[in-house]
C-alpha cells in the first residue's frame, strides 16, 4: 500500500505516515504541499507524493506524547523489530533515530528502529539517505501484542 511521509514545515522532521488518500485530502485542504514525488506517477492533478511538507509548523510535544501509549524505550523498540537491525538484519542492541535528534527527529515509534552497534555507529547523525543506508523495515506504532516476547 502507498504510504506518504509527512514532514514538519521545516522539511526535516518526520511526523508520521499517512495513506495516499489521506495525503491527497491534505493537499486539497491546503494544509500540506508535495515535498518529493514518485517519478512518473500522478494522482489526479497532482504528482503522486512520496512525502509532504506541512504548510505551518506543528509543535511536536503533543505528537510525541500521543504517538502511542507504549513507550518507545530501547527494550520495546528491540521487541517490536524482533531484535533485528533495520539496516543489516543482524542482532540489534541499540535503537536508531532515523532522522537524527540533531536534525529535529522526534523520539517516536515512527522515527526509531532497532540497529546493531556497527550500523548505528556508522550512520552517526546522518539520515539513511545521507549515509547511503537502506531501511529493511518500515517502522510502525506497535500494539501490546507486537511487543510480546517471541
Ligand atoms: Zn546493522
Separation between Cα atoms, residue 48 and residue 38, nearest integer Å: 6
Beta strands 94-97 and 14-19, pairing class: unpaired
**Total residues belonging to the chain:** 150
Closest CA to 137 of 96, 94, 89: 89
Cα separation, 127 vs 103, in Å, equals: 9
| Closest among 117, 109, 119, 115 to 139, alpha carbons compared | 109
Between the CA of 122 and the centroid of ligand 1 the distance, in Å, is: 9
Report how far ligand 1's centroid is from the alpha carbon of 140 (Å).
19
pLDDT in tens, 126-138: 999 999 999 999 8
Which residue's C-alpha cell is 532497532?
Answer: 114
Q: List the domains of the chain with CATH numbers.
A: 3-54 (no CATH), 68-147 (1.10.30)
- Structure confidence at residue 67 as a pLDDT band (50, 70, 90): very low
If you measure from the C-alpha of residue 51 to the centroid of ligand 1, how many angstroms do you get, rounded to a whole number? Answer: 26
pLDDT one-digit tens code per residue, 16-54 = 888 888 888 888 888 899 999 998 888 877 788 999 998
Amino acid at each position: 500500500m502507498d504510504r506518504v511521509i509527512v514532514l514538519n514545515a521545516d522539511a526535516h522532521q518526520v511526523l508520521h505516515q499517512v495513506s495516499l488518500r489521506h495525503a491527497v485530502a491534505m493537499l486539497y485542504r491546503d494544509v500540506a504541499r508535495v515535498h518529493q514525488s514518485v517519478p512518473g506517477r500522478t494522482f489526479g492533478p497532482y504528482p503522486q507524493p512520496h512525502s509532504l511538507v506541512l504548510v505551518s509548523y506543528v509543535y511536536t510535544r503533543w505528537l510525541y506524547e500521543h504517538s502511542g501509549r507504549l513507550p518507545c524505550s530501547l527494550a520495546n523498540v528491540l521487541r517490536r523489530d524482533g531484535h533485528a537491525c533495520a539496516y543489516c538484519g543482524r542482532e540489534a542492541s541499540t535503537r536508531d533515530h532515523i532522522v537524527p535528534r540533531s536534525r529535529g527527529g522526534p523520539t517516536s515509534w515512527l522515527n526509531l528502529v532497532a540497529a546493531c552497534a556497527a550500523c548505528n555507529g556508522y550512520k552517526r547523525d546522518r539520515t539513511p539517505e545521507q549515509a547511503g543506508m537502506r531501511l529493511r523495515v518500515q517502522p510502525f506504532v506497535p500494539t501490546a501484542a507486537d511487543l510480546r516476547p517471541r
